[in-house]
């Protein structure tokens, strides 16, 4: 189990609005079974590392089918093996130290 951030950026779209593209990519995520959270700067997922790579690969492909010619996809995987990382646990660990 790992926690990861995925950011899919279509380039050259002709408009500075990207939310419609983000929504299209999100449908792949909904069907993936991965736990996820949409943030103002990307999407955070939690789950099996192989699955995270596989789902990111699929998300990367979505916008080419919509006619986009260039996509930059960023994946950042935080993987810890001595202890199980979860989205909720990572935030809680910091919050506890902030008290």
The residues that touch its own copies, with contacts defined as CB under 8 A, are 3-5, 9, 11-20, 22-23, 26-27, 37-42, 44, 46, 49-50, 53, 56-57, 60, 64, 69-83, 86-88, 90-91, 93-98
CB atoms within 10 A of CB 55: 23
Give every CB contact of residue 84 below 8 A, 6+ residues apart in sequence.
1
Question: Minimum Å distance from CB 67 to its own copies?
Answer: 10
Cβ nearer to its own copies, comparing 33 with 80 = 80
């Amino acid at each position: 189990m790992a926690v990861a951030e995925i950011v899919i950026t279509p380039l050259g779209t002709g408009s500075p609005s990207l939310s419609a593209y983000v929504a299209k990519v999100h449908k792949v995520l909904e069907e993936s079974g991965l736990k996820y959270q949409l943030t103002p700067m990307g999407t955070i997922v939690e789950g099996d590392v192989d699955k995270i790579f596989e789902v990111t690969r699929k998300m990367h492909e979505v916008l080419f089918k919509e006619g986009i010619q260039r996509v930059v996809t960023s994946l950042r995987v935080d993987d810890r093996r001595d202890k199980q990382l979860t989205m909720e646990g990572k935030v809680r660990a910091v919050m506890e130290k902030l008290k």
